[in-house]
Amino acid sequence: MIAVPRALTALSERRREERGAARLLPPLLGAGLLLLIAAAEGIAAAGCADSTARLVSAEGSVSRREGSTGPWTPVSPGAGLCEGDTLRTGRNSRAAVRFVAADTQIRLDQSTTLRILPPDSASSDGHLDLIEGAARFFSRVKRRLHIDTPFANALVDGTELLVRVDPERTRVDLFEGSLLVANARGQLRLSAGQGASAGRGEAPRLYRLLDPKDAVQWAISYEPMLSALLWSRQDAGDGAASERLREARR
C-alpha cells in the first residue's frame, strides 16, 4: 500500500470543501436576492407612514411622482398617495381617488395632473393643486379643503362641483351648495347651477350652467355625493402657474 503524504491529503480535503461551498453559493445568492426584492416591494407598497389619499380605480395610463423631481411610475388601485405626490392620467385614461382626511371622492378625467400639498392652515382638512385637466369633487360631509388652480381658487360650502383647467383658463361648475371663486383680480359668490371662468390676468366671470350633466359625462358612472367644503388661496401669479405646469410635465 502506497503511503499518501499528509500535505497532499490536506490539499485534497480543502478542494472538496471548496467545491461544496461553490455548490451552495448560487442557492444562497438566490435566497439573498429574493429577500432584497421582497424588502424593496414592501418599502414601495408602504409609501409614506400616513397616506393622505388612496387610488380607488384606474383606467388606462395612471402614474405617480413622489416629490417635485422624482420619476413618473405606474400606480395601481389601492396605492396610497402622500403629501408631495402628484398623480397624472394619460390620454383616454381616468382615475378615482379618495381623499381620506377630507372624506372626499375625486374623479380625474384624461390628461389630468393633480398634486397633493400639505395643509396650509391648522383648520384645513387638505390642500390640492389641480395643475391641468378636469376633476369632479364629491363629499358626504362638510370638510375644509383648499384647491389651487393656475388662474382661480374656490371656497365651497356643501357642494358637488367640477373644476377644469386648460393652458388659458380655469372653469368651476357648481352643482350643489355655494361657492366663492377668487383670484388676485376679484371674486365671485356662486350658487348651484352657476359657474365661473377666469383666464390669464382676468377677474372671475359668472355664467349659468345650461345642462350641468353634459359637462361631466366622463364621470357620470360615479354616484353624486353631497357636501364638499373647499377653500382657496389667492392666485400666486401667471408666472408661478406656468412654472407649475412645466414642472408637472417634466
> Average of pLDDT values for 58-74?
93
- pLDDT attached to residue 247: 54
51-249: which CATH topology?
Jelly Rolls (2.60.120)
Which pLDDT band, with edges at 50, 70 and 90, does 50 fall under? Answer: confident
More confident residue, 238 or 161: 161
What does the alpha-carbon distance between residue 51 and residue 1 come to, in Å, rounded to a whole number?
78
More confident residue, 197 or 237: 197
pLDDT in tens, 81-135: 999 999 999 999 999 999 887 778 999 999 999 999 987 766 667 789 999 999 9
- pLDDT attached to residue 164: 96
- pLDDT attached to residue 43: 41
- Three cell numbers written together for 195: 359657474
Dihedral over Cα of 234, 88, 216, 77: its sign:
negative
More confident residue, 29 or 109: 109
> Average of pLDDT values for 220-241?
39
Q: For the whole prediction, is pTM greater than 0.85?
A: no
SS (H, E, C) the chain: CCCCCHHHHHHHHHHHHHHHHHHHHHHHHHHHHHHHHHHHHHHHHHCCCCCCEEEEEEECCEEEECCCCCCCEECCCCCEECCCCEEEECCCCEEEEEECCCCEEEEECCCCEEEEECCCCCCCCEEEEEEEEEEEEEECCCCCEEEECCCCEEEEEEEEEEEEECCCEEEEEEEEEEEEEEECCEEEEEECCEEEEEECCCCCEEEECCCHHHHHHHHCCCCCCCCCCEECCCCCCHHHHHHHHHHHHC
- pLDDT attached to residue 61: 97
- Greatest pairwise CA separation for the chain in angstroms: 111
- pLDDT attached to residue 70: 87
Return all residues near 249 (Cβ < 8 A) that are at least 6 apart: 113
172 and 152 in contact (C-beta within 8 Å)?
Answer: yes
Residue 39 bridge partners (DSSP)? none
- pLDDT attached to residue 110: 96
Phi, psi of 228 (to 5 degrees): -115, 145
> Average of pLDDT values for 7-20?
58
| Distance set, CA 141 to CA 25, 79, 153, 178 (Å) | 59, 24, 21, 14
pLDDT in tens, 153-211: 987 676 788 999 999 999 999 998 788 899 999 999 999 999 999 999 999 999 999 87
> Average of pLDDT values for 5-22?
57
More confident residue, 152 or 124: 152
